[in-house]
Amino acid sequence: YDKGFRKSAKSVGNIMGNYHPHGDSSIYEAMVRMSQDWKLREVLIEMHG
């Protein structure tokens, strides 16, 4: 919790480069799902902005 926020494009580019080279829409959807408290019991990422 002591680090600043990252741009989502940087995170998506990192994931696409290392794990999922087929497109970015599913990665963005997964990131949004992980930030919604009504979808998961515990919020895994904190969205900003």
Report the chain (49 residues): mean pLDDT per 10 consecutive residues. Answer: 86 92 90 89 83
Residue 40: how many other CB atoms lie within 10 Å: 11
Residue 37: how many other CB atoms lie within 10 Å: 8
Question: What's the pLDDT at 1?
Answer: 65
Question: What's the pLDDT at 27?
Answer: 92
Question: What's the pLDDT at 19?
Answer: 92
Those residues whose C-beta lies under 8 Å from the C-beta of residue 9, and which sit 6 or more positions away, are: none
Question: What's the pLDDT at 14?
Answer: 93
Domain count, the chain: 1
Question: What's the pLDDT at 37?
Answer: 87
Q: H helices within the chain, ranges in order?
A: 8-18, 25-35
- Which residues span the domain enclosing 13? 1-48
Question: What's the pLDDT at 12?
Answer: 93
Question: What's the pLDDT at 2?
Answer: 82
Judge contact between 15 and 3, C-beta under 8 A: no
